[in-house]
Amino acid sequence: MESTAFTFRETSLPSPPSPSPLGHMRVLIQPNLSVRGWPTSAGSRALEGFEALEDATIVTLLSKAGAFLIGSAHMSELGLGLSGDTVAQLIAQGQAQIGIMTDTLGEARLAAAHARLFGFKPSQGTVSRLGLIGLVPSMECCGVVGRNLEDIVSAMTAISKRDPQDVSMTKEALPDFDSVPSLRSETARLVVVEEYLDTLESREARAFEHALRRIERHAGLPVKQVHLPDYHLFAPIHQVVGSVEASSSAGKYDGVRYGHRTPSARNWNEMYLNSRGESFNTLIKSYLFQGAYFQFERYASFENACRIRARLLDQAREAMADTDCLVFLTRRPAHDPYRAATIKATYDAFASTLAANVTGQPSIQIPGLVADSEDDDLGVLLTGPALSDPLLLSIALHISKSNKGVSLT
Amino acid sequence: MNACERTPCGILRSSHVGTTITLAGWVDSLRDHGEVLFIHLRDRSGVVQIVFRPESTPFEVCEQAAFLRNEFCVSVQGQVVSRELGTENPHIDSGQIEVVASALTVLNKSETLPFPISEKSMVAGARPQGEEAINEDLRLQYRYLDLRRPSMQERLIRRHQITACVRRYLDEQGFVEVETPMLTKSTPEGARDYLVPSRHHPGAFYALPQSPQLFKQLLMVSGLERYYQIVRCFRDEDLRPNRQPEFTQLDLEASFIDEEFIYTLFEELAVRMFAVGGISLPRPFPRMTWKEAVETFGTDRPDLRFGMTFVDATDVFSHTSYSIFRRILDRRGCIKGINVKGQSASLSKNVLQNEYAKEIVPGFGAKGMTWMRMVEGRLESNIVQFFTEHEQQQIIQRFAAESGDVLLLIADPSWQLVCSALGQLRLHVAARLNLVPPGAYFPLWVHSFPLFEATEQGLSSNHHPFTMPDRVDFDPSNMEELLSLNSRTYDLVVNGEELGGGSIRINDRALQNKVFLALGLTEHDVEQKFGFFLRALAFGAPPHAGIALGMDRVVAMILNAPSIREVIAFPKNRSAYCPLSEAPSPVSRAQLAELGLLDIEEPETLPGSEQQHDLIESLSWVSRIALTDTERPVIAESLEHTRFLADTVNTHAGDHEPLFSAVPLEHRTREGTQPRICPLAENRQLFKNAPALKGGFFKVASILE
């Protein structure tokens, strides 16, 4: 089990420089993050046999800070969804303290919720994506999962660094993760989105009610309600924009410079059609076809989705004007992301996490707060304003600590 | 400043010496000699030199003048003095004198110029300025500066004088200028219309006029008798270098007249217009039927500035044994040629055979070209040996060939092709050998064009469907007869360029209907497009005729301007774009919504299953992703959902500006990196992951099987 859960294991671990801020922290990654000489297939036949030629910036930063990269684990094809993912499970087993997972729809947070871990998606543009083999540039980023929130904070301190090579990074000052312990989170203001409550199935609604009461009682943080009128448009916008970007960025997989090449092609066009046809599985293909449809058949709908995205950002900012974060449930018990075989099922499973990918806001999954009637930990998700990452982590620490010793049910 | 006190710069001459004057204008150029500063001051009238000299100009004025830069707008007071002997400037009309400044007011400063404006040298013997080519888009972007240049102002002023002369003359002739609407209905000129959406009638559009054709004819029905208008017209045609989406036309129509009236009127008018540019046109203008023009010059707008009229040699070879000519004549083809007089030395065998016969003439659509040279009274060529002595003698006679002449012949089964290819060849040879005399102007009338021309769909009008045929007893269903009809049309052609054209119009409703019938228009079509006009014909419409002249073209020709953009104040560039105002430009969605244009964006109908299949195929192709049969139904289902998503998104679009990333994007250059070869390419690491390599390159399948 353990051996097949890895895609690659580093055998010779280098000795870290001393003193090292991450003090030998064991880090597991996905095979879409470049480490020189490691197999880096991003879970796709399109990168069959590909070995990275250079280290990703985040890999260099982790190593410099004294972390051990122990290997990589399985991931879904090109990081869309969670089918086949083994990172969270290996972290839960204690193989590594933290895992780096690409968060496009909420993969890092939802995988963490399933494995009863913490899962953090930082603000868009605060962690370099150079060397990350991505799919949806405007919405994906490197997320961090771990058993201890402190480990996640340390890892973030190490990897949230400016990278002149990644021009998509934010121009604002990067969050100061060293400040997390000193922030005052006991008076944090939490809100729930009313329109989100309307989407909950009854089982979810009961569990959520329970979680909010627990946060109020143990952490002493009252939770108010706020409006986000177009909340129901987050998923459609994510799908239109995400699929268009995916179809565009998957264009580079042509089986010429790397990856799978069809053995049977009588000419140039057949080579591209068949190599790409054989490279992608049905789930990602559906997504790429959807993106092609918006681009080539209904371009106005892509532009309109981007208009709505601007509006959603405004609404999210407004909803958080007087608060520190929004509260959601991470998981939806009736929608298992590990079994989702279609794009629709995938999006259903990620319904509450994907909003933060649309807005680029930081978001954290907290375990151990909420169980449903079947004793399943559904996870609580906090999403804060852009670049408020340290305060969000500080609130998560506060809630999580105040909950220690309290049983779930 | 009091306008009366101001003296124009350009009028100053030696006779003004001693007077004290006030000038105002722009600093055209400066020459700083340390203590002494010279400037050229320019206004619309011309340029004069101003001197700031410490011994005669107050100290503060000199100090202030030191800050002058090009194109500062200033007013200067001073005294006119004669220039010292030897310092006169022949480049400017006021070059004998200069003005010694006594006062200076800077009316406005100028930023650094995007291009130089000055065209006048400050010293004798210097190269005239303003000759270096400036990027035309830059000129158009700063057109207001471009138009400060005297040569550009001269063109606009001349243009004004030409239109003023047109108005004066037509007024003398009893013509009335009447304005016709700009927001109107699509007219039948055949080009694409510029459309204007109507807010009050959602989904309906006005068309900008391609010409005021129907309205001017209606004015004849109204009894105005003599109408003209200098009017803007609009055509959304494919881009061409010398074409503008909007252009100015001299549009004219008169009742109870015939062709002779138009010829007389327009010859006199053309003579007067060209006279503004110092050009005298010879009268009367020769006339030529369309048939004759094509037969002898290969075009309906012959350039008469040089000879080389076509000579028909078909009958000379009626019994020839030269197989190429034989085959062509067996297919009832024709052979025509031109005599390039005395150019044997300039047209070597190599040029004739390898350039003209093999490259240039095939480019005109002909299969080949035959050439012969007259050397010492005999024909010489690579094929002359195939012609009999009799044929050779006849050729020499027919072409009046003398030693040193070059004969160029084209033979083809198609008469049109022979004419058109030989016509282009004639122009090409004339240009190459500089046979076009500079400063020559040869106007002529080309008349009696065919009424109809054959198209794939049937017939179309050569001019427009309101043109009078040369006879009216035709059978509208007899295609052969229809194609033999001529029209009562006339084009004014000068130097191979069509400047305008017109026709005698149909004023009889029954005849007009017959023409529509011949064109294959149904009664419904006719009613919808021209119903209002046909009704008007039925109310005693008088016999009438008209003509229209392309003013931009005419002015450009008279002023010898390299393009029509040079004689238009604010033209669009070659891409039909205005770099100055940045038109056309996007408009807000709110504006589109108000005009009801958003609803017609995408059809609501759902495609059927067959189209769905095609959709998958087309997406598979544009994405270059092959599908297996088992994947197809999954993709089809996901696309169903996608269609729903697109509709949802479009319904809720709102009017925010599209946002493509949550982190503001900006274009940046990576810092500190010099251009270099990527080390991974240099050490060939890039090839490590390649599925197939060949000789140091990525290997791919061949493009064709």
At B160 the pLDDT is 98
- Over the stretch B432-459, which tens digit does the pLDDT of each residue have? 999 999 999 999 999 999 999 988 778 8
Which of the residues B613, B659, B666, B703 would you substitute to probe the A interface, choosing the one with the greatest number of A C-beta atoms within 10 Å? B659
Q: Average pLDDT of A283-306?
A: 95
What's the mean per-residue pLDDT of chain B?
91
Cis, peptide link before residue B284, omega less than 30° from 0: yes
The ipTM assigned to this model is 0.92
Residue A409 near residue A357, CB atoms below 8 Å = no
Report whether pLDDT(A408) > 50. Answer: no
At B10 the pLDDT is 94
Give the whole-angstrom CA distance, residue B232 versus residue B249: 6
- Over the stretch B555-604, which tens digit does the pLDDT of each residue have? 999 999 999 999 999 999 988 899 999 999 988 888 888 888 886 644 44
Q: Do B689 and A236 touch (CB under 8 A)?
A: no
Chain A closest-CA separation from residue B457 CA (Å) = 32
B693 interface with A at CB cutoff 8 Å: no
Query: DSSP label at B356?
Result: I
Q: How sure is the predictor about B606, in pLDDT bands with cuts at 50, 70 and 90?
A: very low
Instruction: Name which residue leads in pLDDT, B386 or A264.
Output: B386
Which of the residues B611, B616, B649, B667 would you substitute to probe the A interface, choosing the one with the greatest number of A C-beta atoms within 10 Å? B649
- Over the stretch B277-316, which tens digit does the pLDDT of each residue have? 999 999 999 999 999 999 999 999 999 999 999 999 999 9
- Please provide residue B106's backbone torsions phi and psi, each rounded to the nearest 5 degrees: -85, 110
Name the residue facing B623 among A271, A292, A311 (closest C-beta).
Answer: A292
Report whether pLDDT(B69) > 70. Answer: yes
Judged by average pLDDT, the poorest of A44-53, A296-305, B124-133 is B124-133
Report residue B453 as tokens.
């021309």
At B97 the three-state DSSP class reads strand
Please give the torsion angle defined by the CA atoms of residues A259, A264, A266 and A267, in that order, rounded to the nearest 10 degrees: -10
B704 interface with A at CB cutoff 8 Å: yes
Residue A117 near residue A146, CB atoms below 8 Å = yes
At B672 the pLDDT is 65
Report whether pLDDT(A405) > 60. Answer: no
Report residue A89 as tokens.
């499970």
Closest C-alpha to A238, from A383, A78, A358, A123 = A358
Report whether pLDDT(A409) > 60. Answer: no
Q: How many helices (H) and strands (E) does chain B have?
A: 20, 24
Percent of chain B with pLDDT over 90: 74
Amino acid at B239: L
Give the whole-angstrom CA distance, residue B285 versus residue B265: 12
At B619 the three-state DSSP class reads helix
Chain B closest-CA separation from residue A375 CA (Å) = 34
Alpha-carbon torsion (B592, B594, B595, B600), positive or negative? positive
- Over the stretch B454-497, which tens digit does the pLDDT of each residue have? 887 788 888 889 999 999 999 998 989 999 999 999 999 999 99
Q: Average pLDDT of A81-95?
A: 95
Query: DSSP label at B564?
Result: G
Q: Average pLDDT of A177-189?
A: 90
Percent of chain B with pLDDT over 70: 94
- Over the stretch A320-363, which tens digit does the pLDDT of each residue have? 999 999 999 999 999 999 999 999 999 999 999 999 999 999 99
Instruction: Name which residue leads in pLDDT, B269 or B236.
Output: B269
- Over the stretch B387-414, which tens digit does the pLDDT of each residue have? 999 999 999 999 999 999 999 999 999 9
Chain A residues with beta carbon closer than 8 angstroms to that of B673: none
At B170 the pLDDT is 98
Nearest chain B residue (CA) to A51:
B689
Chain A residues with beta carbon closer than 8 angstroms to that of B620: 273, 289
At A1 the pLDDT is 44
Distances (CA, A) of B217 to B221, B227, B236, B252, B380: 6, 9, 23, 10, 59
Q: Do A301 and B650 touch (CB under 8 A)?
A: yes
Residue A123 near residue A131, CB atoms below 8 Å = no
Q: Do A308 and B652 touch (CB under 8 A)?
A: yes
Report whether pLDDT(B683) > 90. Answer: no
At B216 the three-state DSSP class reads helix
Chain A residues with beta carbon closer than 8 angstroms to that of B603: none
Report residue B526 as tokens.
């006719």
Please give the torsion angle defined by the CA atoms of residues A33, A39, A41 and A42, in that order, rounded to the nearest 10 degrees: -30
B665 interface with A at CB cutoff 8 Å: yes
The alpha carbon of B46 is separated from its chain's Cα centroid by a whole number of angstroms, namely 31
Q: How sure is the predictor about A292, in pLDDT bands with cuts at 50, 70 and 90?
A: very high
Cis, peptide link before residue A39, omega less than 30° from 0: no
At B462 the pLDDT is 86
Chain A residues with beta carbon closer than 8 angstroms to that of B691: 255-256, 258-261
Question: With a CB-CB cutoff of 8 Å, which residues 114-143 of chain A face chain B?
Answer: 124-125, 137-139
Report residue B67 as tokens.
């800050």
Q: Do B660 and A138 touch (CB under 8 A)?
A: yes
- Over the stretch A95-120, which tens digit does the pLDDT of each residue have? 999 999 999 999 999 999 999 999 99
For the whole prediction, is pTM greater than 0.90? no
At B548 the pLDDT is 97
In the β-sheet with A118-121, what is the strand arrangement from edge to edge?
A: A6-9, A68-73, A26-29, A98-103, A141-146, A118-121, A363-366, A380-383, A325-329, A190-193, A223-226
At A1 the three-state DSSP class reads coil
Buried b (16+ CB within 10 A) or exposed e, B237-274: eeeeeebbbebbbbbbbbbebebeebbebbbebbbebb
At B603 the pLDDT is 47
Query: DSSP label at A274?
Result: H
At B384 the three-state DSSP class reads helix
- Exposed/middle/buried for B1, CB within 10 Å: 0-12, 13-18, 19+? exposed
Q: Average pLDDT of B49-59?
A: 94
Alpha-carbon torsion (B196, B198, B203, B207), positive or negative? negative
**Helices assigned H by DSSP within B507-663:** 509-518, 523-537, 551-558, 589-594, 609-623, 631-651
* Residue labelled with tokens 């030395």: B345
Q: How sure is the predictor about A11, in pLDDT bands with cuts at 50, 70 and 90?
A: confident
Nearest chain B residue (CA) to A234:
B649
Give the whole-angstrom CA distance, residue B199 versus residue A292: 35
Give the whole-angstrom CA distance, residue B217 versus residue B219: 5
Report whether pLDDT(A38) > 90. Answer: yes
Q: Average pLDDT of B261-274?
A: 97
Report whether pLDDT(B418) > 90. Answer: yes
Give the H or E element holding residue B212.
Answer: none
Nearest chain B residue (CA) to A294:
B646
